[in-house]
Amino acid sequence: MFFFDPKTKEGAVIDPGSQGYKILDFIEQHNIKIKYIINTHGHYDHIGADLFLKDKLGAEILVHKNDAEMLKDPMLNLSFYDDVSEIGGIVPDRLLEEGDIISVGSIELRVLHTPGHTPGSICLFSEREIFTGDTLFAGSVGRTDLPGGDMKQLKKSLENKIKTLPDHLVVYPGHGPSTTMNHEKEYNPYF
Ligand SMILES: [Zn+2]
Ligand SMILES: [Zn+2]
């Protein structure tokens, strides 16, 4: 997933899993200058193309400090256990914390630390949209039975952080269809 400011053509890639070439194609066709590769958390299906894209685009890799180790270690990011090539050795360029602002052209993305799916899970929101990674899905939430997962924390993240955001935000989860904050507040059983 990625977005860009149409005026300045600056953009950011969020959670490049395995779509490195596809993303690169689009970016090159549209002459977009990617400044950042942002990981909403450290699982392998969200970081798989980090190094490929960093190498091609020279962008910086950003992740919350609590998930930084997962980028280095195939055991921690779980690629070791799955039927994929191992992913590791990724050194983040900047470690994120609650309240950080990431500027992409005229767009400001704010970092919400929303632990639960992993200790360093984040959501990123602008005036119009929110990228929720594996914290919030349409009608559901991410699993918390993997190492570092914690359902109590995830519910707290929903209640104390995500729920306070405006209803009009379009929600782009890490998996599945997009939705709106309004719809989730009304129908998502985890709220
Ligand atoms: Zn995940
Ligand atoms: Zn995922």
Percent of the chain with pLDDT over 70: 100
* Separation of CA 145 and ligand 1 centre (Å): 11
Nearest bound ligand to the CA of residue 43: 1
* Separation of CA 57 and ligand 2 centre (Å): 23
pLDDT tens readout for residues 151-163: 999 999 999 999 9
pLDDT tens readout for residues 84-104: 899 999 999 999 999 999 999
1 band by pLDDT with thresholds 50, 70 and 90: confident
pLDDT for 40? 98
Question: Which region, left, alpha or beta, applies to residue 137 given φ > 0 means left and ψ of -120 to 50 means alpha?
Answer: beta
**pTM of the full predicted structure?**
0.96
pLDDT for 130? 98
* Separation of CA 7 and ligand 1 centre (Å): 33
More confident position, 189 or 83: 189
* Separation of CA 8 and ligand 1 centre (Å): 32
* Separation of CA 69 and ligand 1 centre (Å): 14
* Separation of CA 93 and ligand 1 centre (Å): 21
Please tell me the distance from the alpha carbon of residue 94 to that of residue 36, in angstroms, as a whole number. 10
Distance (Å) of CA 16 to CA 161, 166, 174: 25, 27, 10
CB atoms within 10 A of CB 38: 30
